[in-house]
Structure 1
Amino acid sequence: MSTTTAARPARRLGPGLTAFLVVDVLLVLAFLVVLGTTLAGRDAGAAPEGPAAAPAAPEPETTPEESPGEDSQEVGEVRAFVLPSGNIHCAMDEGSATCTILAFSYERPAPPEGCAGQAGNVLTVDAAGTAGFACQEGEPAAAAEGTPVLEYGEQTTVGAMTCASSTNGVLCRHNESGAGFSVARAGYLFF
């Protein structure tokens, strides 16, 4: 005797089970869309959103430079600015440039003759071609709120003075005499 197995007829799903499967499929598709969007954003370098995402801190200044970068972009006349790090801010007019560095790792220089305060935080250059540290009494103040940021790779010219921002600090000079200074967290130069 041979036994043959007859094919069983397919059973239809009830309406409750059908609804459950449809909802499951929709949830899986939604998850895949969210996952794909998240991964695509990370691949494109997008920062994650939300309160846990902190803005990337700019690189701190390292060593001073003797000249602005060749690709430094002129942004017009900006009389007061702060570097992206927030550690250096400057003020300029037609005949002088003064920059204040809040924190530095170089040895504090002796104060200028006749100074009852200290030196090291405030550097200046003027139209007479004189560059040096200015006398400072008390702790240096941070840049005023709302001071424009001079991005790294940008420079501004006011009258005969030019200042350039870079990841290596700030460089300011009197254009006619070539006198100036460069200051960064790790050091300073006068020229």
Structure 2
Amino acid sequence: MAKKRIAIDMDGVMADLTQHYCDWYFERTGERVTKEQLNGVPETTGFPQEGIVHHFLHTPGFFRTAPVMEGSQRVILDLMERYEVFIVSAAVEFPQSLAEKIDWLKEHFPFISWKNIVFCGLKTIVNADFMIDDYDKNLRYFEGERLLFTAPHNVHYEDYNRYDTWEDVAKFFAAQPEPAVPHIA
């Protein structure tokens, strides 16, 4: 029997882009903004100098230097024992990010094969049993089980089961039934 499939978003789920925005903003302006200050505002907004953070997304090196979301490496490695795992990122929105994201994955998630990395525009093409994402626009049309990974821009979403940490994700999957093993006669 085939393993069930999990589609996992990169930005805001595996890579802590919110912390990265805050760090880059501080390094460039000297003004400190915390993640908590960004709760409930659209991603890349809420900083005193509006527009500067959106500019970071087009800056070489931004995606390559993002910090890893705490616990993601261990949990994803564990999930790969029971599930078919695909990393699904809407990377084509920022073309310079493609190579940076591949290099980032090679460094921080070397156990994920290039065959399991999907860069796309819209995630409506994704066919999996589970999707872990931080955006409604990606989860809304997904037909499998939707896991919303908490980020400041989604704190007001109420339509999904919410997971604040990778430990929460691990607990969800630990509670899933083991896939049936076909009987061999």
Q: In which range does the TM-score fall when normalised by the shorter chain?
A: under 0.3
Bigger share in strand: 1
Bigger share in helix: 2
**Higher RCO, Cα 8 Å, sep 6+:** 2
TM value normalised by structure 1:
0.24
Which has the higher Rg, Structure 1 or Structure 2? Answer: 1
